[in-house]
Chain A
C-alpha cells in the first residue's frame, strides 16, 4: 500500500530503501503482478475522471440515469456501499 501511495503521489521520492522494503515482503513474481495491476489503474482513473461518468447502479442496486447517479455519488471518491447495507 505504501508503494502504491508513493507511486500515485510522489513517484520521484521512490528510493532503493523503498524497493528493499517491498522486496522484504513480496516475491519478484508478486511485485510484477502488482505492477501490472497498477498499469491498468494509475492512468485510467485520471482519464475516466475527466469524462465525468457515473456508475450505472445506485448503492441499493437500482439502474439509474447518469443524472441521478451524479446526484447520488457526486464528486466524492468514496464508496456508498456501506450506506446501502445499513
Chain B
C-alpha cells in the first residue's frame, strides 16, 4: 500500500499543473498518481514535470531507447511504480515488452540492439551499478557512437530518473494501471 496517498483529482486546480497533467497522461510517464502525490507542493512539481517531460519525451536520442533505460533503472532500485509504467509514445513507435526485457537483461548478446544502443545501455547501467567503471576509456567508447550533446542528454536523463526512482521506491506507490 502506498505510504503517500494521492490527492483527489479535484484538488488539482492550478491551470498550469492541469496542462502538465494532460501532457503526462498523453505520454503515460508519469501517470496521474505521481502528479497527485507531488501536487501537495504545486510550485515545486511544475518545473519538475517539465524537466521530466523534456528529458524523456523530447531531445535527439531515440525515445524508445530512453524508455528502456528508464525501466532498466527503475528495476535496479526495485521501484514498483516506475518499473510498471510504459510510455505510450514509445509503444506507438514500436517498443515491445520483448525489447524491454532483453534491453534490461541480456542486451549484450542480442541482435535487437546496435552497438550504439548497447553502449548507451551499458553507460546507464554502469553509472548506477559501479560508476568507477565509467572512466575515460568508457567515455572514449561512448564518443565513437554518440556526440557530446547526446551523452549529456542520456546521462542527465538517467541521473534525473534514477533520483526519482529512489524517492518513489520509499513511497511504495503503484501506477493506476499495471504494465
Q: Which residues of A contact B (CB under 8 A)?
A: 3, 7, 11-12, 14, 16, 18-19, 28-29, 31-33, 35-36, 38-44, 46-51
Contacts and interface: CB of A to CB of B under 8 A. Distances in A.
Given A32-B37, A42-B163, A44-B160, A50 B3 contact: no
B48 A39 contact: yes
- For chain B, which range describes its interface: under 10, 10 to 19, 20 to 34, or 35 or more residues? 20 to 34
Contacts of A32: 4, 37-38, 40-41, 44-45
Nearest to A8: B166
Nearest to A40: B163
B156 A33 contact: no
B158 interface: yes
Interface of A is mostly: helix
B115 to A, nearest CB: 21
A35 B159 contact: no
Given A32-B38, A50-B127, A50-B135, A44 B44 contact: no
Given A29-B41, A46-B127, A14 B167 contact: no
